[in-house]
Chains A and B, each alone.
Chain A
Amino acid sequence: MYGEGRAVCLGSDIDTDVIIAGRYLRTKDRSLWAEHVLEDLDPALAGRLAGAVVVAGKNMGCGSSREQAVIALKEAGVVGIVAPSFARIFFRNAINIGLPVIEADLPCTDGALVRFDLNEGWVEVDGARFPARPLSPRMVDILAAGGLVGYWRSHR
């Protein structure tokens, strides 16, 4: 599974509260989540996520199990997230929602061209290639199906 986009750099330990605050969860309106994504970190970030690859520091997505955090990022246009490590529920949620997540340790410059290939297990930043930790075959299958709902429909 291949993807590419311009880098948006975030720090370490980005928690799910800061991705989408509790005050926005009482709705099913996904566009509202996208509008307010990462607002408490920087209100300007939401507008920069269309077509972006988020390059985060360690422990990306720590905190709550709220899947709205992943949905908000995906709805805002994020095409993949690269981080040296993810909080495990966030990692699993991202795969279930069909948003590629890749474990790799990268230097980050905002706007750099980031390309990734999950099957071959690499990430490139402006042409420089870095190794990425491979996903399990089932995770790749779920992502390839666009998420767990698609995977479920094709396997039942």
Chain B
Amino acid sequence: MSTLAERILGAAEGAYVDRAVDIAFAHDGTGVLTRETLREMGVEKLACPERVHLIFDHIVPANTSMTANLQKELREYASSAGLAFSDVGGGICHQVMSEGVVLPGQIVVGADSHTCTLGAFGAFATGVGATDMAAIWASGSTWFRVPETIELSLTGHLQGAAEPKDLALAYVGRLGMDGASYRALEFTGEAAADISMAGRLTLCNMAVETGAKTGMFYADTTTVRYLAGCGIAADRQKREEAKYAQSHEFDLGAITPLVAVPHRVDTVREVAEVAGIPLDQVFVGTCTNGRFEDLQRFARIVRGKKVAVRTIVVPASRAVLQAAAQSGALADIVEAGCVVGTPGCGPCLGAHTGVLGEGEVCLSTANRNFKNRMGVGGEIYLSSVATAAASALSGTITEPEVV
């Protein structure tokens, strides 16, 4: 009689617990401060370096000498401390962790707010800051407040051009930007089983946009099969009846293509309502929608056509890039006139490539459209991959067609 979060953390909602963590990762952005804090703490030897991953994804490759020097220092630290290390081009931390690292039932902490993505595997995965991460690297454990859980019960089937991203925007819109503060989201219902791992990662990714600690799917046949593809044997998690703080039902059959309009993630409109808004840039990628399934879908729509606006496509990882290359999707994307970036976060955080100019408008498959995030004076609309593809072809926000 427990929620998934309660089972994994081993205590009832509201309790404060100390727990060993199974995986603790940081990226080039948060890793610098984590390293600095370890120094301040006087910690030389990490408790469990084999559980620690350092992944360069935020500014890859380095854009300035200052960034290069910070990355150099971190790279050397990863080597001397014996950390699992993924250098520039390996991919976004959450994606790399989803390619056979995170397993059902684990406790996963990442020094990045979108660590909740990995709840897609039935893990308790949550974001922390750099100081917390330093203490976790030093001790191997941390404290958690066991969250109350909000159930998102899924029924029906996605219809037409609607994607899991549209469902993600729909639930963020319904719950609001703080609707799940301090809580976990649990995706249940008969329709949950139909959603692919890529779709689950997209859905869990945006949990933090409602303030949630994590978003979780039970590990089921889909999870077990996906992990088997990574050469890992995993067990399903049997679902128990549980007490939820709230329950929301979503009929997937009623989900239509949506966009979040500037500058709030929870201000969600039908694509039809904002169709025709001229775009300066389309960005397909990120920990929300940069997976192979996403690139395949995008390639299928733009194949044999030309994009009408500058379009930046960034695979979420090297494995995604390789799969896109082998399948021919990459060739379709390049032939359509898109720019392909180094696997990583790309323009999402506005720190290097693809920054917007004053008054420029971008349609992005990312998870955040905060003011000035991708450049001072720019505007960001968030959409699914299919909406981004249709819009790239027309140069204005455009309803996706069924492909």
User: Chain A contacts of B181 at CB under 8 A?
Assistant: 59, 85-88
A/B pair count, beta carbons within 8 Å: 117
Q: How far is the CA of A67 from the CA of B213 in the complex (A)?
A: 17
Q: How far is the CA of A70 from the CA of B145 in the complex (A)?
A: 21
Return A24 CB to nearest CB of chain B, in Å. Answer: 9
> Residue A67 contacts which of B130, B138, B376 (CB distance < 8 angstroms)?
B130
Q: How far is the CA of A128 from the CA of B145 in the complex (A)?
A: 32
In the complex, whether B349 has a CB less than 8 A from a CB of chain A is yes
Are the C-beta atoms of B128 and A92 separated by less than 8 Å? Answer: yes
In the complex, whether B317 has a CB less than 8 A from a CB of chain A is no
Q: How far is the CA of A38 from the CA of B113 in the complex (A)?
A: 20
> Residue B113 contacts which of A18, A23, A63 (CB distance < 8 angstroms)?
A63
Are the C-beta atoms of B132 and A92 separated by less than 8 Å? Answer: yes
> Residue A23 contacts which of B127, B132, B182, B351 (CB distance < 8 angstroms)?
B351
Residues of A119-140 at the interface with B, using a CB-CB cut-off of 8 Å, are: 136, 138
Stretch with Cβ within 8 A of A (4 or more), from B82-90, B226-234, B366-374, B385-393? B366-374
Interface string of A48-64 (1 = CB under 8 A from B): 00000000001100111
User: Chain A contacts of B128 at CB under 8 A?
Assistant: 65, 89, 92
Return A84 CB to nearest CB of chain B, in Å. Answer: 10
User: Chain B contacts of A13 at CB under 8 A?
Assistant: 177-178, 264
Are the C-beta atoms of A68 and B33 separated by less than 8 Å? Answer: yes
In the complex, whether B61 has a CB less than 8 A from a CB of chain A is no
Q: How far is the CA of A149 from the CA of B39 in the complex (A)?
A: 10
Are the C-beta atoms of A17 and B368 separated by less than 8 Å? Answer: yes
In the complex, whether B282 has a CB less than 8 A from a CB of chain A is no
Return A103 CB to nearest CB of chain B, in Å. Answer: 10
In the complex, whether B70 has a CB less than 8 A from a CB of chain A is yes
Are the C-beta atoms of B178 and A58 separated by less than 8 Å? Answer: yes
Q: How far is the CA of A148 from the CA of B137 in the complex (A)?
A: 13
Are the C-beta atoms of A18 and B127 separated by less than 8 Å? Answer: no
Are the C-beta atoms of A152 and B350 separated by less than 8 Å? Answer: no
In the complex, whether A44 has a CB less than 8 A from a CB of chain B is no
> Residue A148 contacts which of B131, B213, B264 (CB distance < 8 angstroms)?
B131
Q: How far is the CA of A93 from the CA of B59 in the complex (A)?
A: 23
Are the C-beta atoms of B350 and A67 separated by less than 8 Å? Answer: no
In the complex, whether B30 has a CB less than 8 A from a CB of chain A is yes
| Residue in chain A with minimal CB distance to B73 | A28
User: Chain A contacts of B134 at CB under 8 A?
Assistant: 148
Known: A88-B211, A152-B41. 11 other contacts (CB 8 A): A13-B264, A21-B376, A22-B349, A25-B29, A27-B66, A64-B113, A65-B113, A87-B211, A89-B113, A96-B129, A149-B41
The 19 sampled A-B contact pairs (Cβ below 8 Å) are: A17-B368, A18-B372, A21-B372, A21-B376, A23-B351, A27-B66, A64-B349, A65-B30, A65-B130, A67-B30, A67-B130, A67-B131, A68-B33, A85-B178, A87-B211, A89-B128, A93-B131, A148-B135, A153-B41
